[in-house]
Amino acid sequence: METHYFGTLAMARAFAPVLGRNGGGAILNVLSVLSWFTAPQVAGYSAAKAAALQLTNSLRLELKEQGTLVTALHVGYMDTDMAAHVDGPKADPAEVAAQALRGIEQGSFEVVADDVSRGVRARLSGDVADLYPQLAS
């Protein structure tokens, strides 16, 4: 929570007034597919990212009047040192960055950067077992 939520909140509080005085601008909050669901062993991370997602939504509403766009970037694993141990699909960080910039340029509130995130997002309106197949009978 200290890094993913309170750190994001502190940065927004520090820079939002500056952005407002300069006519707006944008804040990009890098979230995770785990802001939408969780997995064993990552409950704390998922909870912190879920809190960061709601912070993003709140900031978007609060900062709209000053002309500041607040964009949420959702991504699964990226091909970085942090995810070197992970087997499975990983997004290219350069492509994720390019998508994020395009999203900001287009005024998007949300950028869903990879197939993993798109798949999870598509299952959010379904049954809980759609997100957690291990719960299906």
CATH of the domain at 45: 3.40.50.720
* E strand intervals along the chain: 25-30, 68-74, 110-112
pLDDT at 45: 92
Q: Please determine, for residue 88, whether its predicted confidence score (pLDDT) is greater than 90.
A: no
Note down the domain range covering 18.
Answer: 2-135
pLDDT of 67 > 90? The answer is yes
**How far is it, in rounded angstroms, from Cα 114 to Cα 100?**
11
pLDDT at 21: 97
Confidence tier at 130 by pLDDT (50, 70, 90): confident
In the chain, the number of structural domains is 1
Place 81 in a pLDDT band, splitting at 50, 70 and 90: confident
Q: In whole numbers, what is the pLDDT of the chain averaged over residues?
A: 92
Span 100-105, average pLDDT: 98
